Chains A and B, each alone.
Chain A
């Protein structure tokens, strides 16, 4: 958000807003209305929008889950037709992975990375906004399949060929799946490049890579995974789309093609994808556990290197999703071995979290409960994962509910619980008030009961032979009891989510009568806690100079001669005050939103009418040019400093991506 100040006189020699290339373009100023959110390029606002939208899709995916569980509560129910069941479980998976958990992690990444490294924004603020708007337009496009596509995609989230072809999936659902994910993939790719450049290039003085918080490291690895994995699924989705729309011959066995190609391409993406899902949560709890153990993270280097190792090794295990697909014993052996190895770096992390807690002064706030819960639940999921690595065992387990149990324990128990921990931890920083702790603990316990009651029995069901992806089961198999338990558990999870939302709203209401929590209500360790809550628009009054890991901690505490920890400053004393006098921030822009709208139009055009493609293409292209041509900053925005020096030509628009502006540099180094 730009600090709106009285426009100062521009340096002599600079004309006032002389050249407007197309005669109409200025940059908007940022305020607090809804239009300001639409044009915001502030990483914090973008993060909040990701979070809110992700929670909305959590509910969508959750309703889909409840429909599944309701159908499966009793044997031989006809609550959902088989076709509808396929659509619901497909969209449940797609929604939860791409529209809930990834964007919720993105919310934390966007909000926290600049703060944790001591920057004022990301490298390319407008591209950041673009990522959000493209993602949400892809999300809406994907779900519009229910209304205009003849139903949801019905091929499973992994959408295997030839089931995904027009013969077996004749509605447009799979087309919406392919195009929707292509669109959302662009968002993540752009965002990953943005955040990597931010972390590598925009750290505060003294913030070496090995002084960065573990969360930033895990998010950095996640961005690299996203950047390199997304192109692979992009290829797969295009091949699928071309087969369906143009009748190309990529997956038709009768033409001599090999459906297994899809599986390889999908899982080369799909396996790094699950590390993309879990690493942010690992990072989050790596911040929370030290804070509430009042100890630094045990084995910082090991935490960093194990994260990097997971990132690398995650590329070598994908065909463990294909053990029974006929790839042959040598491939199976190779991938079985690699999969066993990847448990090692994760095990390192679990040990380090436990070692951090060991001997620490533990405080079980809600965030800490969720963090510890994450460790526990992920361990359970990880143990079943290890059993899958043994290919002969997996031959029994695959395509049964045992697998469903595994991945829900790691994704929900590990991923979601970690994100919930993060929500409770950073809520005061983001919103300026705490989430009520008493209600938070109730939320935690309801979640734990719900999660374990839903997914625990699935281990049993799977080992008893219940298949995945079946819309019902017969009476005599003995699956009825645990399915009913799982359904009850699912409803308990729903209650926990509803309770969380209730807590969010109620806490906000109650906060009116409560004092501001201050910059550092948890007595935490990293730089985001050194500034007021909620975070001021400009982040830091002064970019801090960093001298150690846990920099903020070391500004509050030191060691005396006996190596005891002594306080040298209170948070209020050591924190920055929030006076953004004269800080220049990147100006907002509407073009990212406009560009994003063009993409689903192209998508609708591919499916329904090619003229829409032309329209969408023109909109997208027009937005790109307008973006490149709009003034780098609104010359009327407050600058504050009198000493601009010799700025670049303010009418220089040829640099369409531009350099970072947000590091307090207030010349016209363009933002992008």
Chain B
């Protein structure tokens, strides 16, 4: 922000904000705060409906906890690779950062692949999207989460491509940080879902 003398160097300072935080970072955190309301609604809907099977199979009947544990672990580790990507870029190591970004995207892809496998095997075991309230709620919740992960993968791959074109440089580290925030949030949501939906057994 400039002072009364408009031509001082501060007017040119792109980082000058009242809070000292960049606009984008502030915006992303605010957005993540609002996403809590979105996922909260979906989770609550599932919790309300998780025992309402309408005489048919419930998701809790056919959870494959070992399988889901592995994919949860994969997503968790992708948060590590994400933060390593950021750290590498901040250090100036563009190549390494690109590698970690790609790894993060791939781990995310493994997670999504696991979700798809899980959904199709559920379907074969008699639970589809429209089977009963419990299944509708389960697939909507995990589906929304999966879509969020997929969008994250798209963003990560866009960064990888940008990096390959030489357009992702250390001074752009904040962009990676912002994408990282989104990615970690999506991971955090899954931490919540894994515990509350999968591990806490049905009554």
Contact = CB atoms under 8 A, between A and B. Distances in A.
Question: Are chains A and B touching in the complex at the 8 Å CB cutoff?
Answer: yes
Interface of A: 123-124, 189, 193-194, 196-197, 200-205, 227-232, 234-236, 238-239, 242, 246-250, 252, 255-258, 261, 265, 541-545, 625, 628, 641, 643-645, 648-649, 651-661, 663-667, 669, 672
Contacts of A234: 38, 41
B34 A228 contact: yes
B136 interface: yes
Contacts of B83: none
Contacts of B135: 249
Contacts of A250: 45, 49, 133, 136-137
B18 A659 contact: no
A249 B167 contact: no
B178 interface: yes
Contacts of A653: 162, 167
A256 B136 CA distance: 12
Given A201-B17, A257-B52, A667 B12 contact: yes
B1 A204 contact: yes
Contacts of B24: 655, 657-659, 672
Chain B: number of interface residues, binned into ranges: 35 or more
B130 interface: yes
B200 interface: no
A246 B132 contact: no
Given A248-B129, A665-B16, 10 more contacts: A203-B18, A205-B1, A247-B130, A255-B132, A648-B14, A654-B159, A655-B24, A658-B24, A659-B22, A660-B14
B11 interface: yes
Which of B24, B26, B31, B129 gathers the greatest number of chain A CB atoms within 10 Å?
Answer: B24
The 7 closest A-B pairs by CB, nearest first: A669-B14, A235-B41, A231-B38, A248-B136, A201-B17, A231-B37, A256-B52
Contacts, number: 177
B175 interface: yes
A257 B133 contact: yes
A257 B135 CA distance: 11
A331 to B, nearest CB: 15
Interface stretch (B2-10, B60-68, B69-77, B115-123): B2-10
Nearest to B163: A654
A603 B130 CA distance: 21
Nearest to B49: A257
A256 B133 contact: yes
Interface in B22-41: 22-24, 26-28, 30-31, 33-35, 37-38, 41
Contact of A645 (B9, B21, B27): B9
B19 interface: yes
Contacts of B171: 648, 652
B42 interface: yes
B27 A246 contact: no
B94 to A, nearest CB: 12
B95 interface: no
B123 to A, nearest CB: 14
A661 B27 contact: no
Given A200-B26, A657-B178, A230 B34 contact: yes
A250 B38 CA distance: 16
B132 A249 contact: yes
A542 B41 contact: no
A545 B3 contact: yes
Contacts of B15: 659
Contact of B6 (A229, A236, A542): A542
